[in-house]
Amino acid sequence: MTIKPDYSQSVPENLGHVHFIGIGGSGMSGIARLLIQSGHKVTGSDVRESGNIAELRKLGAHISIGHDANNLGDANTVVVTSALWPTNPEYVLAQKKHLPILHRSQALKYLTTNKKLVSIAGAHGKTTSTGMVVTALRVLDKDPSFVNGGVIAEYGSSAAAGKSDLFVIEADESDGSFLHYKTAIALITNVDPDHLDHYGSLENFEKEFAKFANGASDFVAISSDDPGAVRVTKLISGRKVITFGENETADVRLVKIDATGAQVSFDLQYADAIYSATLRVPGKHNAINAAGAFAVLVGLGIDAQDALDAIATFGGTERRFELHGEQRGVKVYDDFAHHPTEVTAALSAARAVVGSGRLITVFQPHLYSRTRLFAKEFAQALELSDLVVVLDIYAAREDPEPGVTGALIADAFVDQTRMHYVPLWDDVPSAVAAIAQAGDFVITMGCGDVYRQVPGILKALGA
What is the amino acid identity at position 435? I
Q: Which of 127, 233, 243, 371 is an active site residue? A: 127
Helices and strands, number each (H, E), in the chain? 15, 21
CB-CB contact of 23 with 53 (8 Å): yes
C-alpha to C-alpha distance for 153 and 350, rounded to whole angstroms: 19
304-311 helix and 284-299 helix, angle to the nearest 10 degrees: 140
Pair 215, 186: CB distance under 8 Å: yes
189 is catalytic: no
CA-to-CA separations, 89 to 21, 70, 86, 272, in angstroms, rounded = 10, 9, 8, 60
Number of other CB atoms surrounding residue 55 within 10 Å = 17
Q: Choosing from 41, 90, 128, 170, which is the catalytic residue?
A: 170
Stated as kind and residue range, the H or E segment containing 205 is helix 202-214
Strand intervals (E) in 225-341? 240-245, 252-258, 265-270, 273-278, 322-327, 330-335
- What b-and-e string marks burial along 119-130, b requiring 16 or more CB atoms within 10 Å of the CB? bbbbbbbbbbbb
Catalytic-role residue among 115, 126, 142, 331 = 126
Residue 355: what residue type? G
Strands, sheet with 62-65, edge to edge from the N-terminal-most edge strand: 62-65, 42-46, 18-21, 77-80, 101-103
Query: 77-80 and 101-103: which strand pairing?
Result: parallel
Question: Is 459 a residue of the active site?
Answer: no
Q: How far is CA 32 from the centre of its chain?
A: 18
Cα angle 171, 174, 180 (rounded to 5 degrees) comes to 50
Largest CA distance in the chain: 63
Virtual CA dihedral for 430, 431, 435, 439, nearest 10 degrees? -60
* Burial profile 64-76: b = 16 or more Cβ within 10 angstroms, e = fewer: beebeeebbeebe
Q: Examine the residue annotation and report whether 170 is marked as an active-site residue of this protein.
A: yes
Residues serving a catalytic function are 126-127, 170
